[in-house]
Amino acid sequence: MAIQIYNTYTGRKEEFKPIQPGKVGIYLCGPTVYDYFHIGNARPLLMFDIFRRYLSYRHYDVKYVVNVTDIDDKLIKKAQEEHVTVGEVARKFTDAYFEDIKKLRIEQPDVSPRATDHIPEMIDLIKRLIANGHAYELDGDVYFRVRSYPPYGRLSGKNIDDLQSGARVEVDERKEAPLDFALWKSAKPGEPHWDSPWGQGRPGWHIECSVMSMKYLGENFDIHAGGVDLIFPHHENEIAQSEGATHVKFVNYWLHNGFLNVEGEKMSKSLGNFFTAREIVAKYRPEVIRMFFLLKHYRSPINFSEERICEARQALERIVSTLDSINTLIGVGADIDRSESEFVRGLKQEFIEAMDDDFNTALAIAKLFELVKEANLIIAKETITENDKSILMEIRETFYEYNTFLSILPGEQKSDSMVNEGAYIDLLLEIRRELRIKQEWKLADQIRDRLNELNIEIKDSKDGTIWRRK
């Protein structure tokens, strides 16, 4: 069955159909680098990285873009408070962001564009919006004219009229309508600024994401992700700006992760329940934090508490101790007997079905625990047959295989070697393709046969060659 994902835009689960077969473009709204990112921000960074790695595991060619917002009101305020430049604030917390995602075993995105590296493109997009009547200038500021874009509100399910009448009286009364939002802000004294047709100023936050996503993924791309709190107004505004300028559909699937509470309450500095990811990762092992997030469906709200972390740790310990027992019983380097167990195959199938069903990691992990249970039943037996050993090895291999995207096992030598193995196979297939073009059939077939002996099955079709482990 094809992968199904819940699309916030349509409000239902849909079959995932990439724009280009076999390829996926994903954009996630990244951090505003004015401080260390908090545990709530860690959720989308961690979960969407897992989904992106899962899609690669499912043989999609994924391009994953996570921006860095390095110019914003919050950065300016921080710089003023600390008597440093905005650039210094940005550098410090951009470095911290990359360090922290690494600690959480989040892989580097394929592209991490900085907003300040894309100012000319932002100015161009704003010019286009002014030219086609979607934006207007007022004394050096530029605003998006929300009324000019009738679908506004589709993503968040809000109605423009309700929003207009409900909008509080704006401080800025020069605007045509209260909902109109800033695309360009004129510089106040001492603020960082860039030259533009409207004078010196800086971009608004929303335009940054429209520009950086379209630059790296195209005017229409597959998946845009972020926290549920970004649906309105940020993502709504991104759609209005992008589609207002290009007149093509901006994003095909909108994915949003649920809120994170701490001990049942909204996280806030004033309540004293505010934790940075840096603090959390200093306290708990990254695998435990990953398991904590995986145990909940990404769209559900999640409660960060000692109790839940303890559950995640216990769950992980059960897996690790079972794998240790398997290693003790049959040796780490033991080779796999190829007789495949129905039971393991069935559960692997169910694991994949759960992941394919809107990335239901909670259900997928439950399937892994059925494997743990089966392994422990075998381990407890008085006599262990060769067939039992073969099942245990298959179970172990399954954990190593899925760990390439879950990254929950301590010490990752095994998973790293598996990632490399895939890259080597791809390289061999590339050489084989060249050989076939040159009609060197004997050598090409030799590669196929030798891979086959190593239990790598390859299939040729008009769309190219695919491989799988037998």
Residues that bind Zn ion (CB under 5 A): 29, 209
Closer residue to Zn ion, CB minimum distance, 29 or 129: 29
Q: Whole-number minimum distance, CB 205 to Zn ion, in Å?
A: 7
Closer residue to Zn ion, CB minimum distance, 53 or 256: 256
Closer residue to Zn ion, CB minimum distance, 222 or 356: 222
Cis peptide bond upstream of 233, omega within 30: yes
Closer residue to Zn ion, CB minimum distance, 4 or 220: 220
Q: Whole-number minimum distance, CB 37 to Zn ion, in Å?
A: 14
Query: In terms of DSSP bridges, do strands 260-262 and 464-469 run parallel, antiparallel, or are they unpaired?
Result: unpaired
Q: Whole-number minimum distance, CB 10 to Zn ion, in Å?
A: 20
Closest listed residue to residue 433, CA positions, set 452, 441, 423: 441
Q: How far is 161 from 238, CA to CA, in rounded Å?
A: 19
Closer residue to Zn ion, CB minimum distance, 29 or 71: 29
Q: How far is 407 from 50, CA to CA, in rounded Å?
A: 9
Is the CB of residue 241 less than 8 Å from the CB of residue 270?
no
Closest listed residue to residue 114, CA positions, set 156, 71, 152: 71
Q: Whole-number minimum distance, CB 153 to Zn ion, in Å?
A: 18
Q: Whole-number minimum distance, CB 136 to Zn ion, in Å?
A: 23
Q: Whole-number minimum distance, CB 254 to Zn ion, in Å?
A: 12
Closer residue to Zn ion, CB minimum distance, 29 or 42: 29
SS (H, E, C) 377-404: HHHCCCCCCHHHHHHHHHHHHHHHHHHH
Q: Whole-number minimum distance, CB 234 to Zn ion, in Å?
A: 6
Closer residue to Zn ion, CB minimum distance, 39 or 209: 209
What Cα–Cα distance (Å) separates residue 321 from each residue in 33, 314, 361, 409, 428?
39, 10, 21, 11, 37
Query: In terms of DSSP bridges, do strands 181-186 and 201-203 run parallel, antiparallel, or are they unpaired?
Result: antiparallel
Q: How far is 387 from 336, CA to CA, in rounded Å?
A: 11
What Cα–Cα distance (Å) separates residue 363 from each residue in 146, 231, 332, 347?
41, 26, 29, 11
Give the distance, in angstroms, between the CA of residue 226 and the centroid of all CA atoms in the same chain.
Answer: 8
Closer residue to Zn ion, CB minimum distance, 29 or 47: 29
Q: Whole-number minimum distance, CB 65 to Zn ion, in Å?
A: 11
